[in-house]
Amino acid sequence: MKKYWWQEIVMYQIYPRSFQDSNNDGIGDLQGIISRLDYLQKLGIGGIWLSPVYQSPNDDNGYDISDYEAIMSEFGTMADMEKLIAEADKRDIKIIMDLVVNHTSDEHQWFIEARQSKTSEYRDFYVWRDAQENGELPNDLQSIFSGNAWEWDEVAGQYYLHFFSKKQPDLNWENAKLRQKIYEMMNFWIDKGIGGFRMDVIDMISKVPDQKIIGNGPHLHDYLKEMHHATFGDKDLLTVGETWGATPEIAKQYSNPAHHELSMIFQFEHVGLDEIPGKSKWDLRPLQISELKQVFSKWQTELGDEGWNSLFWNNHDLPRIVSRWGNDGDYRVESAKMLAILLHMMKGTPYIYQGEEIGMTNRPISTISEVNDIESINMYQERLAQGFEASDIIHSINAKGRDNARTPMQWDASNDAGFSKAEPWLPVNPNYQTINVAAALADDQSIFYTYQRLIQLRKKHDLIKFGDFELINETEAEVFAYRRTYQGEKWLIVSNFSEQSNFFTFDGKVDKLIIANMTDLSLDLNHKLLRPYEAFVVKLRG
């Protein structure tokens, strides 16, 4: 299989609102990002997935776009954006734009015109339905952000579809003119020199509302092939689709280069392992490590050479991994490093979410008034009305709410963590005095240097990028161990996914240590007692 640049790098996700404020209005911005590029270069990443920076009324923090070809004024100007692309390029970092084309803002010009009249050329860019004869909603489709997915529009005299907030009307991809407009917009960005696109909820674009088909609709892959040919097909860009319902089979449809669709997708099977099956993300159950092992192993082996994985623990929609599946108390440093080693030794393109590389944690809240995110706020109201206890809902928000990952980046121990000199739009996590970039850089045993080393290793060793993966099954349930093999070379990756000690037994011989999260490591693997969250990688002999 041909090798691509995006198979050889580590990506880094920036949530601009929370990364670095440069003009002290409490909101992160593009100049702020530019000022931190040297830090990212030191970490060693090869690309930035930039969450949306387009003009937006911010009902869903930029995922509701009112102009795809303008920059949100709070974030800066188009000149700042061009500067960011150029400055990143100087450091061999590509900028991957967030492409949010399942829906727009209701303040987008297309929607403003569409709702005015049934004869508007934009009417059919969105999904409209009349009320049923008895006056009821077109059907009972639910919004992912709670409540009904249909909203009555007085001006239009019809219902429109919104799978997210009411201010995010869904686009109608069946309209060929709309699709052309989107491709033109993508080319506008490609011409600016970006490195690719992360495609927001892309598996929803071929919905069939009357049949209640939301994801993986009938024309999804036709649209992606059409998009590929009309835009990035001959450009050597990174494209990654957000696809909540993907299976390995579906992933191959998207990411087999022979199909001319995307470079890779984000699949979420591992992310759902701590929710009650058949219920929502807010209905919690403990993670079973044995299931986590099976899910990763399945994805690592089943794509084979016919597709490409992305590797991630968290993003702007998910809680902080060290709080979620590690230990953000006594073992914060050990467990964060264990999680990093375990993921970064797999095959695929790893994505680091801002702050993960210094072990940032969730920020617990105690009342709903502290919550900013529309998803949590709507869910809270809905569940209260359904009779849930407020304290149980808050418990779910603390475990899964999206604000956890969105608190400002912790740069140093000064006020508001060096993020801003004004009050930040979302409060800084109070632990910033100990957990911050300055402290991490000053400590050669910090989580940061584990990530830096993992990135260097990936650059250097084709085994990490392209080797085969094999789960080692004969271990204790909470020991996650696997072997990578490439051109006769074998590496063993072992991690104790637990705050208890666990035994690991292996009869191969160790050639040398590659990386570990603890010192005083005995390399006698015959009957090794792993300390809580211990993780290491060794090259095996012969």
Catalytic residues: 200, 242
What is the nearest approach in angstroms of ligand GLC to the Cβ of residue 55?
15
Compute the residue count for the chain. 542
Distance CA 100, CA 189 (A): 13
Given a contact cutoff of 8 angstroms between Cβ atoms, the answer to whether 286 and 478 are in contact is: no
Which CB, 75 or 150, lies closer to Ca ion?
75
From the list ligand GLC, Ca ion, none, which binds 200 (C-beta under 5 to 8 Å, kind-based)? ligand GLC
Give me the sheet containing 47-50, strands edge to edge.
264-266, 238-242, 196-199, 94-99, 47-50, 11-14, 349-353, 310-311
Task: Identify the residue among 11, 27, 48, 65 touching Ca ion (CB under 5 A).
Answer: 27
Distance CA 167, CA 108 (A): 10
Q: Kindly state the DSSP code that residue 426 receives in the 8-state scheme.
A: S
What is the nearest approach in angstroms of ligand GLC to the Cβ of residue 65?
9
Look at strands 94-99 and 47-50 and give their pairing. Answer: parallel
Look at strands 67-71 and 54-55 and give their pairing. Answer: antiparallel
Long-range contacts of 441-450 (CB under 8 A, 24+ apart): 445/333, 446/333, 446/358, 447/333, 447/336, 447/337, 447/340, 447/357, 447/358, 447/359, 448/43, 448/357, 448/358, 450/336, 450/337, 450/340, 450/341, 450/515, 450/517
Which CB, 19 or 164, lies closer to Ca ion?
19
Given a contact cutoff of 8 angstroms between Cβ atoms, the answer to whether 58 and 71 are in contact is: no
Task: Identify the residue among 170, 274, 275, 317 touching ligand GLC (CB under 6 A).
Answer: 317
What is the nearest approach in angstroms of Ca ion to the Cβ of residue 419?
10
Instruction: Give the count of residues interacting with ligand GLC (CB under 6 A).
Output: 9
From the list ligand GLC, Ca ion, none, which binds 357 (C-beta under 5 to 8 Å, kind-based)? none
Q: What is the DSSP string of 47-106?
A: EEEE---EE---TTTTSS-SEEEEE-TTT--HHHHHHHHHHHHHTT-EEEEEE--SB--T
From the list ligand GLC, Ca ion, none, which binds 63 (C-beta under 5 to 8 Å, kind-based)? ligand GLC
Q: Under the criterion CB under 6 A, does residue 182 sit at the interface with ligand GLC?
A: no
Question: How many CA atoms within 13 Å lie on the side-chain side of 144?
Answer: 14
Of residues 41-70, those binding ligand GLC (CB under 6 A): 60, 63
From the list Ca ion, ligand GLC, none, which binds 23 (C-beta under 5 to 8 Å, kind-based)? Ca ion
Given a contact cutoff of 8 angstroms between Cβ atoms, the answer to whether 320 and 404 are in contact is: yes
What is the nearest approach in angstroms of Ca ion to the Cβ of residue 29?
4
**Phi-psi category of residue 341: left, alpha or beta, with phi > 0 → left and psi -120 to 50 → alpha:** alpha
**Which segments of 220-288 does DSSP mark as H helices, in order?**
220-230, 248-255
Q: Under the criterion CB under 6 A, does residue 15 sit at the interface with ligand GLC?
A: no
Of residues 382-411, those binding ligand GLC (CB under 6 A): none
Distance CA 92, CA 198 (A): 19
In the block, tokens 């690719």 appear at 196
Q: Under the criterion CB under 6 A, does residue 200 sit at the interface with ligand GLC?
A: yes
From the list ligand GLC, Ca ion, none, which binds 412 (C-beta under 5 to 8 Å, kind-based)? none
Instruction: Give the count of residues interacting with Ca ion (CB under 5 A).
Output: 5
- Angle, helices 220-230/248-255, rounded to nearest 10 degrees: 30
Q: Kindly state the DSSP code that residue 320 receives in the 8-state scheme.
A: -
What is the nearest approach in angstroms of ligand GLC to the Cβ of residue 64?
7
Strand partners, 71: 54
Task: Identify the residue among 21, 59, 98, 261 touching Ca ion (CB under 5 A).
Answer: 21
What is the nearest approach in angstroms of ligand GLC to the Cβ of residue 534?
33
Q: Under the criterion CB under 6 A, does residue 425 sit at the interface with ligand GLC?
A: no
Q: Under the criterion CB under 6 A, does residue 164 sit at the interface with ligand GLC?
A: yes
Which CB, 164 or 183, lies closer to ligand GLC?
164
Q: Where are the beta strands (DSSP E) in 89-216?
A: 94-99, 128-129, 150-153, 158-161, 196-199
Stretch that binds Ca ion, among 15-23, 167-175, 301-309, 517-525 (CB under 5 A): 15-23
Of residues 235-254, those binding ligand GLC (CB under 6 A): 242
What's the per-residue H, E or C state across 470-500? EECCCCCCCEEEEEEEECCEEEEEEEECCCC
From the list Ca ion, ligand GLC, none, which binds 478 (C-beta under 5 to 8 Å, kind-based)? none
Which CB, 18 or 256, lies closer to ligand GLC?
18
Task: Identify the residue among 5, 23, 284, 438 touching Ca ion (CB under 5 A).
Answer: 23
Look at strands 11-14 and 349-353 and give their pairing. Answer: parallel
Nearest residue relative to ligand GLC (C-beta): 63
From the list Ca ion, ligand GLC, none, which binds 252 (C-beta under 5 to 8 Å, kind-based)? none
Task: Identify the residue among 100, 440, 535, 537 touching ligand GLC (CB under 6 A).
Answer: 100
From the list Ca ion, ligand GLC, none, which binds 264 (C-beta under 5 to 8 Å, kind-based)? none
List Cβ neighbours of 486 (8 Å cut-off, separation of 6 or more).
Answer: 462, 463, 466, 467, 468
What is the nearest approach in angstroms of ligand GLC to the Cβ of residue 214?
13
From the list Ca ion, ligand GLC, none, which binds 302 (C-beta under 5 to 8 Å, kind-based)? none
What is the nearest approach in angstroms of ligand GLC to the Cβ of residue 200?
5
Stretch that binds Ca ion, among 13-21, 275-283, 404-412, 493-501 (CB under 5 A): 13-21
What is the nearest approach in angstroms of Ca ion to the Cβ of residue 89?
23
Using CB under 5 A as the criterion, which residues of the chain lie in contact with Ca ion when the complex forms?
Answer: 21, 23, 25, 27, 29
Using CB under 6 A as the criterion, which residues of the chain lie in contact with ligand GLC when the complex forms?
Answer: 60, 63, 100, 164, 200-201, 242, 316-317
